[in-house]
Copies of this chain bind each other. A is one copy, B any other.
Amino acid sequence: MTVLTTDFEQPTMDDYPTRKSTEPALLYRKDPVVWGGDEGPIDQGTLHGFEENGYLQDEELITPAELEKYREELRRLSLDEELKRDERVVVERKSDEVRSVFEVHTISEVFADLVRDPRVVGRARQILGSDVYVHQSRVNYKPGFTGTDFYWHSDFETWHAEDGMPRMRAVSISIALTDNYPHNGALMIMPGSHRTFVSCVGETPEDHYRASLKSQEIGTPDQNSLSILAEKHGIDVLTGPAGGAIMFDSNCMHGSNGNITPFPRSNIFIVFNSVENTCTEPFAASSPRPGFLGSRDFTPVK
């Protein structure tokens, strides 16, 4: 006997399918960019720019004295020999130098305080319109002379596919600990690209994150889609002094060129996600990445 019913489990529709087809595709964003907006440290003009371009810049988010404190903490972490054996620390094999420290807000009390700072978390709450938690945090050390490029990508594509982040309701903040020039591998964003989701081809292999920390292949946008977006939106090079900050939407198409100049680049990088957008099962991977790359602890920052 067949019973007709509408009371069945509706299969979840994925608004942002990726790594499932052999053809890339450009899809419309189906989420707001600014979810809150009324209350917080960001003025309305800047917030409007964020909505349009997918990013905002603040020339002086932290004071020179704070800058010195964070640089000192960066040095301390890079010299901690015990930390070098930690899975959350990326060390360059050739030089044994620290390149990134992940989950830095749980490793360092100094950076934990920064995450809780109203200038930082307040901005994230304002954009995302809710309480927020830290999806990922890290400090990056990019050397001069040999700094390598970071190819174009949307963070959301990875977070959706590999971490199970359902919607575009996360924001990244990058606080510069060194000056960003046009010539030392500054962040490049295609302004406005956050309104388009580039569906990527290929299937996520097991433990993909180990390879993708070095260079991304699966989850990489195709050249044709990138050409279309670059023609339409152009490319902004986000320069600015140490102590300044960039906030950008989870779906911005961004990357950075290499850096042959003698000037290194360091920054603190924090990804806030809305507590109303906590991660589920990955949308295109067999299991989620480790917690230091995509947190499964959704405790709001207070």
Contacts and interface: CB of A to CB of B under 8 A. Distances in A.
Interface of A: 144-145, 149, 151-152, 181-183, 185, 188, 223, 226-227, 230-231, 235, 237, 255-263
A223 B259 CA distance: 13
5 contacts: A152-B260, A183-B237, A183-B257, A185-B257, A255-B260
A144 B182 CA distance: 18
A151 B146 CA distance: 9
Interface hub of A152, A226, A256, A260 (most chain B Cβ within 10 A) = A260
Nearest to A257: B257
Contacts of A181: 235
A230 B263 contact: yes
Given A188-B183, A226-B145, A235-B183, A259 B261 contact: no
Contact of A145 (B185, B223, B237, B259): B223
A249 to B, nearest CB: 20
Contacts of A237: 182-183
Contact of A262 (B223, B259, B260): B223
A257 B255 contact: no
Contacts of A255: 260
Contacts of A256: 260
Nearest to A258: B258
B230 A261 contact: yes
Contacts of A263: 230
